[in-house]
Amino acid sequence: MMLDLIKYGNNMRKLGYESGIQAVKLYDEEFRKLRVVHRLDWVILHDELYRLATAIKHSGNYQQHSQSSGSKNSRSPFLGKTQQKQAKRANSNTNVFTVDKNMLQTSVINDQQVVNLPTPVKLVMLSKYLELYDPELREFLINEFTKGFKLGANGENISFLTCKNHQSALDKPEIVTEKIEKEIKKGRYRGPFNSPPLPNFICSPLGLVPKKEEGQYRVIHDLSFPKGNSVNSSIPAEYTSVSYENIENVIHLVQSQGHKALMARADVENAFRLLPINPEDYHFLGFTWNGKFYYDTCLPMGLSSSCQLFENFSTALHWILTSSFGISNVSHLLDDFVFVSKASSKACDYALHSFLKLCKTIGVPIKHEKGIEIDSNEMIARLPSDKIEKIYDMLVSVKRRRSHTNPQFRITLNAEARADLRAWFEFIEHFNGKLCFLFDNWVSSDTLRLYSDAAGVHGGFAAVFGNDWFTGSWPPEIEPEHITVKELFPIVLAVEIWGKCLENQSAPDCPMVVSKTDNSSSAIFNSVVAKFTASLSDATHKSYSRMINSYLQFCETYYAECRPFPSSHILLSHFIANLFLRNYSPSTIATHISALSFVHKSNSWPDPTDMFVIHKILKGVQNLKGKNDPRLPITKDILIKLIDSLPCVIVNVDNQLALKAMFLLAFYAFLRVGEISTKSGSDTKQVLQVGDISFDRENSTLKGMSLTMTYYKHSDLHPKTIYIPICADNITCPVTHVHHYLSQFGHSSGPLFQFKSGAPVTRSYFTTSLKSALSFIGLDTRYYKAHSFRIGAATSAAARGIPHSVIQGMGRWKSSAFMKYIRMQNF
């Protein structure tokens, strides 16, 4: 260690000799902050820090950085508290390109600063068209086009400021340079600057991806790098989720307009780039090229919130078409608009010209490009051959690899991944690019009088269609196949023989497909999935689907001649034993059985999972494989160390204040992490609210604090009040720290714990910060988790002699499960 520090000091001496003492101070300050989180080696120079430290010194634009509890999105910026005005003046001689004035829209920010926003959209005309639009949505669009669109990033968990561009960009620098110059001329990029032009400046790497045209490339701004510590990772999920229309909406429109329906398509050009960014968020979109600094001012394609933001705009365009122009048969997917009308109508031509007129009026450019082709003559959807070839070439390329890499990770392709690739490869190899429309008017097999059946190894196959029929024995190449394949054989043969008579007909309840092919795992599974969709959450649906697939694979491997559904208690017993031998945990095995129970109940089949023998086998699995919870309690001594470590691992002073209050409250109020932090930012009402806190005072002296818990496990919406008296020790007093936190942040509504930006503190931020603090004080993060606060609270209470009944009430436990939380052996 001493030798490493000597070498580090020697490196700093060289840096000071080359660039001066300010460069040394800057490098040393930022390196030590990064080292707390990333455990960097003292000996190895950090290239990006070294280069930026010398650049800032040479530009004369560095000021000593000092944190301020009132600063917003404060992180560990290289530029410190240098003002935008100073940065602009220091770098003004580097902006060498002339911006097209047609790309600029003058806006006023905060009634003071006049900003030219780079968008061709004519706000005055757009505002007129939206006069009768939903008031909230109209206000949102007008406000965002006036001041610029906010990205939704809260700036948390971003500890980097610059990073190396991807190799794809470095291999073809002339293409990247040309793209940057074009974007600057259009007013979308700002730069070049000799040093970071904005406070809290964040740089993300550039890369190149090939376009479908030979020799053409698209420059990407990788805002997802590095994974978990990027601009995109700081954007809450509620700003990234979006629902689209899809190709099936278009197919439905074509079907509704009949055979040979007329269609037209228009695509918005550079769609995302039409939306200007709010200047307050420019610092999130920085990048470096050839030693210079730049930033983007328009909505980038690689931003996780871009789709939701643009969809708000395209939905408004869709509404204008229907309300102002009377166009009904229109569908859009983000920037792609499709119009449909009957063959003899001029409505399609009118719709297209109306859309082009609207776009010209409000300044939205149009491009032309082929995607999926809809053929209303043959009533099929067709994928162009060049796209099929591109997919095929990609699969061939990946199929040959032993591993796949991206800038952050190396992924080994396991047997399952390779099997999946082989399946897609075989499909694409024989796919003609055509998809027939499925008509809404389904016809039953009884109406068609179409039936088929197949027997096992020594049997054969047969089918009946009205008065026609065929039968036969198995060809040698089919005879050894699984019964699933054999059931399909007469179906395929029937379609081959009678296909013309069956054209544009379907049979969802056809015994040929369902009753007679009940050994077909895919048919059963599709039936199950349809029922799942109606009653299960997305997460449960995905989990159950995966587990049912596992069961079907088990049946196919070990009991091919048995029917998977309805199942029997013997088959389920063997399935449980198989999962046990594959080292599945007792809880996972139980979830598999719950999934199978749901299938049986949803199909009105007898449920073998309710049988006595299945319950006993599951109990045996629990007894044989149950293991102790390895999590350890956070005691008061550990709590003090965690509080003391926060200034060393959390740069932002405001966030230190919030985390101190959260750590202390979690311990003293026996809280679960989900009760004080949101999972995705969308469940804000399920956590403690500001209104749930009240302080007890006597003659203006703080005496205690009451928490009203409305949402907690087993609550049944029956609120429970927890009273915490003030502690003599201010260092660990939750009342003092929560009161101080609220007085500093000043929010009067919403979740109790928020960032300064107003965004709720997320579970991922809380757990990541806790992990950093635990590592800093030398504790193993495998055994100390967010739940360790609750475990520690119960254990500490028991150590002080508090009766078990009181501990159960304090922790809001419904049963004797609280006993598992008292771990005196670890105290």
**pLDDT recorded at residue 800:** 83
Q: Among 625, 644, 674, give the residue marking a domain's end.
A: 625
Assess whether 640 and 621 both reside in one domain.
no
Assess whether 565 and 610 both reside in one domain.
yes
Assess whether 758 and 797 both reside in one domain.
yes
Say whether 429 sits in a helix, a strand or coil.
helix
- Dist. CA 216–CA 218, nearest whole Å: 7
Assess whether 659 and 719 both reside in one domain.
yes
**pLDDT recorded at residue 565:** 86
**pLDDT recorded at residue 77:** 31
Assess whether 566 and 676 both reside in one domain.
no
Assess whether 539 and 610 both reside in one domain.
yes
Return the HEC string of 369-393: CCCCEEECCCCEEECCHHHHHHHHH
Assess whether 565 and 491 both reside in one domain.
no
**pLDDT recorded at residue 105:** 52
- Dist. CA 371–CA 296, nearest whole Å: 29
**pLDDT recorded at residue 75:** 30
Q: Which of 470, 475, 473, 468 is nearest to 455 (CA)?
A: 473
> What's the structural domain count of the chain?
5
**pLDDT recorded at residue 630:** 80
Q: How remote is the C-alpha of 498 from its chain's centroid?
A: 47
Asked whether residue 541 is assigned to any structural domain, the reply reads yes
Residues in the chain: 827
Biggest CA pair distance of the chain: 99
Q: What is the pLDDT of residues 559-582, one digit of tens each?
A: 877 778 888 888 899 999 989 888
E strand or H helix at 73: none
Question: In sequence order, what are the beta bridge partners of 267?
Answer: 336, 367
Give the residue ranges of the chain where pLDDT is below 50.
Answer: 56-104, 106-114, 506-522, 525, 528-529, 531-532
Asked if residues 21 and 64 have their Cβ atoms less than 8 Å apart, the reply is no
Q: Among 561, 590, 625, give the residue marking a domain's end.
A: 625
Bridge-based pairing state of the strands 460-465 and 468-473: antiparallel
Assess whether 671 and 792 both reside in one domain.
yes
Q: Model-level pTM greater than 0.75?
A: no
Domain that holds residue 815: 636-826
E strand or H helix at 733: none
DSSP 752-809: SSB-TTSPBPBHHHHHHHHHHHHHHTT--TTT--TTHHHHHHHHHHHHTT--HHHHHH
- Dist. CA 384–CA 544, nearest whole Å: 36
**pLDDT recorded at residue 45:** 75
Asked whether residue 642 is assigned to any structural domain, the reply reads yes
**pLDDT recorded at residue 336:** 86
Say whether 205 sits in a helix, a strand or coil.
coil
**Nearest-10 Cα torsion for 592, 598, 600, 605:** 150
**pLDDT recorded at residue 93:** 35
Question: In sequence order, what are the beta bridge partners of 108?
Answer: 114
